Structure 1
Amino acid sequence: MSISEYSKLEFTDPRTGKFYSLSNSRHRATRATTTGPSATAAIIRTLHDTRHSIVYRASVNGREVILKCSVYSPLRDCSYTDLEREAETYRNALAKLQGKVVPRSYGFYRSSNDIEKPICCLVLEDCGDMVYCFYDLPADDQLKIMLHVKALHDKGLALRDFAERDVVCRNGDYRLIDFHDTDNHTCEWDGDLHVGKGTPVGLICRYMLDRGLDMHFWPPQLPPSVYIGDTRVPAKWYPSQTKINELLQDLDEDDIEYNFNFVQEHLLCYQEDVVAGRKPVTVKEFRRRVSQLPFKMKKGRVVLGDTNNTIYYATAY
């Protein structure tokens, strides 16, 4: 069946029972293969209902489509003009991306302005349901979405507010939607998405970078680290792991766990002396100092240890 923009679109609002007969906003359908006098949409269900717009899944001549509607109100006329702008975006900037990156548009329809509550409706190809969670998508699927984002940028547009609600999927095919709020954009992306690597440094396009971070597209790159007992800490503030093991040789895991802040402070001070070019205390002296634990294990219980367990700051070394 060929896809048409019709001169009229008719449907009944399932919320109010009101019947609408809307006219195509253009006198002729420049992207349609055929043009019929009218089409009746049977509403299947409501997908989205907010103060901004109402989105229905519907059937027109046996084909499922999406109706994105806005009812004019003086209190929120922006939703009406937003939908007009989105229809214009599909018609112009997104024309060559329809059916590949974005849904096909089957026309923009309006009621007459002399009715009490004018309504407009954008009819789109039904490309499936909203993505539930970017994080759960396989890497290959995330890559498809990132490439769609880049294709959009190549047409001079960027989605301003990007989230799962802006991506739909059917049978593994993804489409970007919701173009009422876009930025004009000249993309300076350098071409390398760093697939399977860490977050890129040279990816100049902030939109591409934000989209990748939003989706967890790049595996997290943890900074170098060392362990104090079982606790992982950033390596840059501490001695090497070999030196830590040597300095804490006399302490068992329980000692370190119950006195972690005390042990940590001594290690920080030790490394501060090293970085400052001061001679740190000897290993023997360090072990003596950290042996004065605030808490010790006794018969399976944690009890107070030495009360004179002064933490030796770097200046004390």
Structure 2
Amino acid sequence: MSSDLTIKFSAIPQGEGEPGREEFSLHLTRVDKQVRLEGRLQIYNTVGVTASATREYYRGTLAQRSPNDPETDVFIKLAYAQNLDDAAGLRTEANFYNKQLKALQGDVVPVCYGIYEGEHDDGDPIVCLVLEYMGEPAEDGLGSLDMDVRLEVLRSVVQVHLAGVMHNDINDDNVLFSSTPDSKPRIIDFEHAEKHKCRRKLEIVEGAPVPERLLFGCPELWDLAANMGIWRSQYVCFYGEYVDEDTIDSPQVLIDAVRSMTFLPQEDIERRANKAYEMVQVFKENGGYRPRDFNPDDWVF
């Protein structure tokens, strides 16, 4: 049988509550004609990453297509086509890579080496998406990254929006980093994406006050910036009570917020209220912006 892609898959060991998979080979036909690759592709050295009842994920090596081509690490997503949602998700993702995101491939998103269809040895129809391997998620989540890196993540997602795509599933697992020194964040997993005309009205400025979500204009970018702590909180945590800093025009506002806590030493309350008020005044004089070395823990009194 002629094919555009041949893959020899390694076995996936059975995990607790998850099915395993024995070693097998696939001979698949390319169905997205936007991908211009000469000749047939071969993938070897596959390593099973994980499997579910309807999905399997592998890493592998894309063989040289000509003497001048390097070998390439790839990530392979398999869906059993009888599960219509899974198969449709891979087709949706490939369509975005090959159209709206084509100019961003290899930079902001992975290179797409095509989507393929065929049958497993047992006759089950299979859909297979082959992507450039781009690294791993941040070990402790996006919020743990240095501010410069978080801003780079945000810029990458902004580029996706400018290309006309709403991701709809930005989370820690869908932003990858390689181990190279010049590693930049790459955005993956566009199965739930949709066409998008970004209506963001405001610039995203580190340390600025949190803008109103509606006035900002783009819910996805607002949520991402807020979740990564790009903007400052406008609340002072005073003995567990959250007080809007815009209302703090004197230390007495903070003292009044904890008036019912009669078990607290009055002297300590007044001392902390004065310190918090002084900090609020410093930030207000700076237009509400936080300095780069600001520690949010210092905002808890």
Same fold (TM over 0.5): yes
Identify the residue that residue 90 of structure 1 maps to in structure 2: 97
Q: 1:31 to 1:190 in 2, by over 3 A?
A: farther
> Alignment partner for residue 11 of structure 1, among 4, 8, 11?
8
TM-score (normalised: structure 2): 0.69
Identify the residue that residue 71 of structure 1 maps to in structure 2: 80
Q: 1:178 to 1:243 in 2, by over 3 A?
A: closer
Contact residue 26 and residue 119 of structure 2 kept, 8 A: no
Alignment size in residue pairs: 240
In 2, Cα distance between the equivalents of 1:114 and 1:18?
Answer: 8
Contact residue 11 and residue 21 of structure 1 kept, 8 A: no
In 1, Cα distance between the equivalents of 2:253 and 2:136?
Answer: 55
Identify the residue that residue 197 of structure 2 maps to in structure 1: 186
Q: 1:233 to 1:216 in 2, by over 3 A?
A: closer
> Alignment partner for residue 59 of structure 2, among 23, 46, 57?
57
Identify the residue that residue 213 of structure 1 maps to in structure 2: 226
Q: CA deviation at 1:167?
A: 0.7
TM-score (normalised: structure 1): 0.65
Which SS does the other structure have where 1:219 is aligned?
coil
Contact residue 43 and residue 60 of structure 2 kept, 8 A: no
The answer to whether structure 1 residue 241 and structure 2 residue 238 are counterparts is: no
Note the residue ranges of structure 1 that are not aligned, 5 or more in a row. Answer: 1-5, 247-253, 264-317
Note the residue ranges of structure 2 that are not aligned, 5 or more in a row. Answer: 12-20, 64-70, 270-301
Q: Which has the higher contact order (CA 8 A, sep 6+)?
A: 2
In 2, Cα distance between the equivalents of 1:13 and 1:243?
Answer: 65
**What are the superposed Cα offsets for residues 268-317 of structure 1, whole Å, 9 maximum, x if unpaired?**
xxxxxxxxxxxxxxxxxxxxxxxxxxxxxxxxxxxxxxxxxxxxxxxxxx
Q: CA deviation at 1:204?
A: 1.5
**What are the superposed Cα offsets for residues 54-92 of structure 1, whole Å, 9 maximum, x if unpaired?**
22111122421111111223xx32101111121111111
The answer to whether structure 1 residue 174 and structure 2 residue 158 are counterparts is: no
Larger Rg: 1
In 2, Cα distance between the equivalents of 1:239 and 1:151?
Answer: 41
Contact residue 55 and residue 78 of structure 2 kept, 8 A: yes
In 2, Cα distance between the equivalents of 1:243 and 1:23?
Answer: 70
In 2, Cα distance between the equivalents of 1:130 and 1:243?
Answer: 43
Alignment of 1:1-317 (within 5 A): 7-14=4-11, 15-26=21-32, 30-32=35-37, 35-46=38-49, 48-51=50-53, 53-61=55-63, 62-73=71-82, 76-112=83-119, 116-132=123-139, 133-170=141-178, 171=180, 172-201=183-212, 202-223=215-236, 234=243, 240-241=250-251, 256-257=263-264
Q: 1:87 to 1:233 in 2, by over 3 A?
A: closer
Identity among equivalent positions (%) equals 22
In 1, Cα distance between the equivalents of 2:148 and 2:168?
Answer: 24
> Deviation above 4 Å: which 4+ runs of structure 1?
112-115, 230-233, 235-240, 242-246
The code of the aligned residue for 2:4 comes to S
In 2, Cα distance between the equivalents of 1:125 and 1:238?
Answer: 52
